[in-house]
Amino acid sequence: MSAELVKEALAAASISETPVIITINTPGGNLDATFSIIESIEQSNVPVIGYVYPTGATAWSAGTFILLSTHVAVMAPFTLVGSAQPVSVQPLGGAQPIDDPKILNALSSFLVERARMHQRNETAARLFVLENLNLSAEEAYRNGVVDLVVPSIPDLQTKLNGTVVETNRGTYVLHTQGANVVSWSPSLRITVLEILSEPVLAYLLFIIGIYTLIYALSSPGYGGEVIGALMLVLGIIGLGIAGANVGAFILIGIGVILLIMEMFTPGFGLPGVGGFFSLILGSVLLIPPGPWIVSTEWLNTLLLTVILVPTVVGIFLIFAAYKALEARRRKPFITGIVGDIAETIDGLFPDTDGYIIYQGEYWKAKTTVPIRPKSKVRIVRKEGPLLYVEPLEETEDNRRESSPK
């Protein structure tokens, strides 16, 4: 998440050509994410100031690598830098220092080159990795590890004013005296990644997703396949096994598959809900941080479209599915057919089936007395698709004979 946040902030800063201050207070982090942050800093067109802040903060391990890779390295009083030996996380808990000379020499050489790039103490950079050297802010400044020691952001602005920095684009003169300091707020995309990358949550999503899939495959038909697949993908994104963009494409693909499944499923169930959730989340994660050569309003419109279109369509389909389910549960309403008038076609004879026309439809009919062709008949009984009829004229004659005089 931190690597994505730095990329997003630097992309926005490059458009306005504004320097960026990265405040550092960390015990360390993932090596791949650290290299990603350093790569973003080195490719930045604007100066990046690394600031170990506030008082009492630490720049250990990954923090040391990032601090020595910034264009200007600064520490607040009573802060620490160092302890950069890599460790490996053990499956049953805890961490084990890595003593492999190949890895140690590679990382120490990497950090030494960053120190040399910015004219900083190369010996200290090597000892940070090989001997877990730690330095206070004053010691780091005295030994040429950092460029400044200042207690606050306003003091940092005063000290940096007029400083000349070499960036990826060329020479940059800092004009920081009295400049407005804007805190970069993470976008919705970064906020989602921050939630997913919480270690405990990411691990739980990954493990529970695997076991849910195993259960679902052994007992299909209960929706476990949908839940398990989504949890597994979210866990993979959170653990950093797949990047945000790769994870976004996987989520969108799962969403499309689930919606296609929903089209062939009666009503609106778990596949539909999971499909829309996957599409929305995948779309949010897919939007790259920039830089974009468009207006902020256009980007906001794009984000709203990405969220609102699947949501509106989903609400419509849920409403339609609800109405279909409601109609399915409603008792069928059949108009009374007994007693209605129909017409014979070729005539009817007892003990043989014939056909009559009722409301423009052909029905199979049966009678107990002969009935002439093209005669009106009354329906007296219905048994499945067979109608029992009697002559209409006979019925009316019988009524006249039975009526009192």
pLDDT at 263: 67
Give alpha helix (H) positions in 17-145: 31-42, 62-69, 101-117, 122-130, 137-142
Q: What is the DSSP letter of 184?
A: P
Q: How far apart are CA 44 and CA 19, in angstroms?
A: 10
Given this model, what pLDDT does residue 292 score? 46
Q: Is the pTM of this model over 0.85?
A: no
CATH node for 341-402: 2.40.50.140
Domain edges within the chain: 2-173, 188-329, 341-402
Please write the tens of the pLDDT for every residue from 87-116: 876 544 456 788 899 999 999 999 999 999
Longest distance between any two alpha carbons in the chain, whole Å: 132
Q: DSSP state, 181?
A: P
| Dihedral sign from CA coordinates of 319, 322, 324, 326 | negative
**Over the stretch 113-161, which tens digit does the pLDDT of each residue have?**
999 999 999 999 999 999 999 999 999 999 999 999 999 999 999 999 9
- pLDDT less than 70: residues of the chain: 1, 89-95, 220-223, 262-270, 287-307, 309-311, 313-314, 316-336, 394-405
- Per-residue confidence (pLDDT) for residue 117, from 0 to 100: 95
Q: Who contacts 182 (Cβ-Cβ below 8 Å, separation ≥6)?
A: none
Q: Tell me the fold of 2-173.
A: 2-enoyl-CoA Hydratase; Chain A, domain 1 (3.90.226)
CA dihedral 93, 30, 146, 70 (to 10 degrees): -170
Predicted confidence at residue 140, as pLDDT, reads 97
What is the C-alpha radius of gyration for the chain, rounded to an integer number of angstroms? 38
